[in-house]
Amino acid sequence: MPILDNENQVSVLVEGLDHAEGIAWGMDGYAYAGGEAGQLYRIDVDRGVLTQFADTGGFILGLALDAVGNIYACDIGNKCVQKITPGGMVTVYSSGPPGEPFITPNYPTFDARGNLYVADSGDWKADNGRIVKIAPGGEATVWDRGLSQFPNGLCMGPKGEYLYAVMSLGPPRIARVKIDTDGNAGITETVVVLPDTVPDGVAFDTDGNLYVSTYRPDRIYRMSPARELETLAEDPEGTLMASPTNIAFCGRERDILLSTNLGRWHITRYEAGATGMALEYPELRG
């Protein structure tokens, strides 16, 4: 597929966000994003209307939602995963494993059992990142230490057999970890290397294509199940796309691809001609 036309197939969905990084779709029919001063935004995708409904006082990165609309937000300002109710109540869901608190909680994703996997990126170029697994209820353990070179965006793969992880460094790439039958981390392999980039976000569509957004340069890739890589969209001017970080398929049919732009104040919409793979929205108690 040729690169998307920025005049007709890439557009600004909504403006007025505070350098948003995380974006996610909720079962209530709204998209959600966070800001660099701890803001939580609810977005009516059909109408292009933005509402702030909560504030953690930190800096919100990646987001995930459960079945009743609670948001689980990586907050690097407070070094924790926050739980935000639909009404805007904020509580700490996890500060990390006992004795090994979060350094840079960056991105969360749920599996079918309600476990929340969190990329704790660590410090830039310090090789001290890891993947943390938070069981339903909030008990956290280090799940994988091998992906230590600034793990970033995460997503479950088709059938939930692998956890896919964006590695922003060492080299920049997409890796995947086999989820063994006992729930432990299995074999890790490199899926694709992305030289001269800083990859950040990742998502699958229903055809098994993998989408990767890059903080540098301003670009989104699409990789086929045969691992053929193409550029879906890019912006050399860095305005319509401005440091795109996280991506998510939104809309009631999951057919609207959105990205946040850490370098600016808007969310970008892409006419990708695809339907996003269904995510997990677990029913969690407590």
Q: Is 144 inside any structural domain?
A: yes
Q: Residues near 86 by Cβ (< 8 Å), separated by ≥ 6?
A: 28, 53, 68, 69, 70
* Confidence at 111, pLDDT banded by 50, 70, 90: very high
Q: Work out the average pLDDT over 136-149.
A: 97
CA–CA dist 220, 234 (Å, integer) = 6
Q: Is 120 inside any structural domain?
A: yes
Q: Is 240 inside any structural domain?
A: yes
CA–CA dist 121, 130 (Å, integer) = 7
Per-residue confidence (pLDDT) for residue 285, from 0 to 100: 77
Q: Work out the average pLDDT over 74-78.
A: 98
Q: Is 282 inside any structural domain?
A: no
> Is residue 261 within 8 Å of 242, Cβ to Cβ?
yes
> Is residue 264 within 8 Å of 239, Cβ to Cβ?
yes
Q: Is the pLDDT of residue 71 over 60?
A: yes
Beta bridge partners of 256: 250
Q: Residues near 239 by Cβ (< 8 Å), separated by ≥ 6?
A: 264
* Of residues 137 and 144, more confidently modeled: 144
* CATH number of 101's domain: 2.120.10.30
Per-residue confidence (pLDDT) for residue 204, from 0 to 100: 98
Nearest by Cα to 63 from 102, 96, 93: 93
Q: Is 183 inside any structural domain?
A: yes
Q: For 213-269, what is each residue's pLDDT tens digit? A: 999 999 999 999 999 999 999 999 999 999 999 999 999 999 999 999 999 999 999
pTM over 0.85: yes
With the C-alpha atoms ordered 116, 73, 163, 175, is the resulting torsion angle positive or negative?
Answer: negative
Q: For 156-209, what is each residue's pLDDT tens digit? A: 999 999 999 999 999 999 999 999 999 999 999 999 999 999 999 999 999 999
The tally of domains found in the chain comes to 1
By residue range, what is the domain housing residue 146? 23-270
CA–CA dist 76, 80 (Å, integer) = 7
Per-residue confidence (pLDDT) for residue 23, from 0 to 100: 98
In whole numbers, what is the pLDDT of the chain averaged over residues?
A: 97
Q: Is 18 inside any structural domain?
A: no
Q: Is 3 inside any structural domain?
A: no
Per-residue confidence (pLDDT) for residue 13, from 0 to 100: 98
Beta strands in 16-77 (DSSP E): 23-25, 31-34, 39-44, 49-55, 60-65, 71-75
Per-residue confidence (pLDDT) for residue 286, from 0 to 100: 60
Q: Is 4 inside any structural domain?
A: no
* Confidence at 58, pLDDT banded by 50, 70, 90: very high
The phi, psi pair for 158, rounded to 5°, reads -55, 135
